[in-house]
């Protein structure tokens, strides 16, 4: 099931979720660079998420960099 970022953040913060599916479900639900930044901030302290699906979204190099920087820390 595809989640919204708003719905997933509490579970990410609580380390209560292992897989995140943000696959693009429709034109109305786009995961962009701003969402990547928010996700990276939430994942920075998370120890339970092992998989994130962002396929089909409008993410540029800037969004990818937010996530890559989070992984390096």
Name the nearest CA neighbour of 13 among 24, 21, 5, 25: 5
pTM, full prediction: 0.87
pLDDT-derived band at 58 (thresholds 50, 70, 90) equals confident
> For the segment 32-46, what is each residue's pLDDT rounded down to a tens digit?
999 999 999 999 999
The CA distance from 32 to 61, in Å, is: 11
| Alpha-helical segments (H) within 1-73 | 5-13, 33-43, 61-72
């Amino acid at each position: 099931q595809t989640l919204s970022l708003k719905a997933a953040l509490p579970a990410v913060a609580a380390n209560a979720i292992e897989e995140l599916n943000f696959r693009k479900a429709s034109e109305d639900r786009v995961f962009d660079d701003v969402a990547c930044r928010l996700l990276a901030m939430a994942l920075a302290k998370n120890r339970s998420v092992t998989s994130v699906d962002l396929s089909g979204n409008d993410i540029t190099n800037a969004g990818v960099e937010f996530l890559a920087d989070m992984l390096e820390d």
